[in-house]
Chain A
Amino acid sequence: MAKRQQDNSNLIFIIIVVIVIIAMGIVIYIANNNANTSTQSVNSLVNKDNKLANKNVLSSLFSISLPNLKNALNSNVKATTTTPITGEPLLVKNNLPRVVYVGADYCPYCAAERWALIIALSKFGKFSNLRYMTSSSSDVYPSTATFTFYKSSYTSKYIDFTPKETNTNISSQGGYTSLETLTQIENNLINKFDAYPYVTKSSAGSIPFIDIGNKGLIVGAQYSPQLLQSMNWSQIASSIANTKSVISQNVLKSSASIIKNICKITNEKPQKVCSNI
């Protein structure tokens, strides 16, 4: 009798253990299915190169609030901020202060910086035809999910934004296939500002190169592309929207710095942006 009760007790215990283990498995299965996205393999990231960016992903970036950007500016994360340029005339194109970007599809640092740059520029104008891109699969921080400015367009009442992606992410003869060529003005800017003493001698010629009206300078990424590794676009956008995440703090701090510098060249316009950052 006692042995039977013991056996029943053991059986009940085993059943409970099995039920709980199965329940945990079901929870994980449901969680994965309900996730906005699941972790993508590198191949599936690369397969999206040059495809139009998902509207929800872009909408998530464009709707980052100014208070969140302002708060990020004061965070303690290691993201560097824009280097001021002094004594130079305002860079202008089409009667608007000009923001110049020079990068390349293969470049992992450009991959990181574009997230911050797109968020910042969305406060001053509108992007269209932004396409997905991944950085080189054979470079450091391989296949970092990002966008390409190639074939995109940007319209704004406040600034002229002229991005150039000089190379693709496709290897060719020890480098990468050419994409867009720089104008003489763009080359002159790089020769002057992407060089000592504006940058260290060791980082001269680096990309991304971002000249904010000849008043602010960014060479290289403001935060490490490591933060974005093994994540697809939806995951990165989701992390950026989570203001307590390390990714968000780094990207938004970088973005806020760009916004502040653009405000300087637009005479603090638009007011609703510049007075709230």
Chain B
Amino acid sequence: MKNLKKSVLIYSIYILSFVGILICIYLLYAHFADVSVACPRVGIIDCANVLTSQYSSILGIPVPFFGMAFFILMSVFTFLKKELYLLVLSILGVLSVMYLVYVEFALIHSVCLWCSSIHVITLLLFFISVYLFLNKILTS
């Protein structure tokens, strides 16, 4: 039962990371092809405003690129069963999410739904990483 639960969590990391990579690829495509993403403009929701802001890239590199690297590394560390690396990486992910959410609300005054989905995925990956790490400590 415990192994089944662990397997479910591990596959969840793969699935969430895969979805995250797909979203990042879509956002990168929109960035380089200079096209609009599918996103309603209602109230504070304005993907275009977020994705074209000065905060949408770091040192000239689009933020979704870092997101894609994050999700690839999460998958690799999961495959290699490096629970500590998963935990550290996911903590960095959560801190990045907090920064990006702050920027969206405080500086850009707009929220991007695609970015928010990445944020939710990152948080879920963090929770799974914490659980796997605690589980490893427990079993060792």
**When chains A and B are docked, how far (Å) is the Cα of A182 from the Cα of B47?**
42
Closest Cβ of chain A to B124, distance in Å, is 10
A244 touches B105 (CB 8 A): no
CB within 8 Å for A246 and B49 given contacts A20-B126, A27-B98: yes
Instruction: Summarize B's interface: helix, strand, loop or mixed.
Output: helix
B102 adjacent to A39 (CB under 8 Å):
no
Which one of A5-13, A127-135, A173-181, A255-263 is at the interface? A5-13
Question: Is there contact, CB below 8 Å, between A9 and B135?
Answer: yes
Within 8 A of B (CB), among A10-34: 12-13, 16-17, 20, 23-24, 27-28, 30-32, 34
Most chain A CB within 10 A, of B49, B103, B107, B135, is at B49
Chain B residues, CB < 8 A from A36: 109
CB–CB B54/A229 < 8 A? no
Q: Does A226 contact B (CB under 8 A)?
A: yes
A13 in contact with B131 (CB, 8 Å): yes
Q: What sequence of 0s and 1s flags, for each residue 91-130 of chain B, a beta carbon within 8 Å of any chain A beta carbon?
A: 0001001100111111111000000000000010011001
Which of A5, A13, A31, A243 has the largest number of chain B CB atoms within 10 A? A31
CB contact list, B59-108 vs A, under 8 A: 94, 97-98, 101-108
Contact status A9-B138, CB under 8 Å? yes
B84 CB to nearest A CB, Å: 15
A257, chain B: closest CB distance, angstroms: 21
| Cβ < 8 Å to A, chain B residues 14-45 | 34, 41-44
Count class of interface residues, chain B: 20 to 34
Give the secondary structure class of A's interface. Answer: helix
In whole angstroms, how far apart are the Cα atoms of A223 and B76 in the complex?
Answer: 47
Which residues on the B side are within 8 Å of A235 (C-beta)?
A: 109
Residues of A within 8 A of B (CB-CB), count: 35
Judge if A119 is at the interface, Cβ distance under 8 Å: no
Task: Tell me, rounded to whole Å, the shortest Cβ–Cβ distance linking B23 to chain A.
Answer: 19
Q: Given A20-B126, A244-B52 in contact, is the A31-B106 Cβ separation under 8 Å?
A: yes
The answer to whether A28 and B126 touch across the interface, beta carbons within 8 angstroms, is: no
Minimum distance in angstroms from A52 CB to a CB of chain B? 23
Q: How far is the CB of B45 from chain A (nearest CB, A)?
A: 9
Residues of A within 8 A of B138 (CB): 5-6, 9
Q: Give chain A nearest CB distance to B6 CB in angstroms.
A: 13
Binding site for A on B (CB under 8 A): 34, 41-44, 48-49, 52-54, 56, 94, 97-98, 101-109, 123, 126-127, 130-131, 134-135, 137-138
Q: List 15 A-B contacts (CB under 8 A).
A: A6-B138, A9-B134, A12-B134, A16-B127, A17-B130, A28-B102, A28-B105, A30-B102, A31-B101, A35-B107, A230-B42, A242-B108, A245-B49, A245-B53, A246-B49
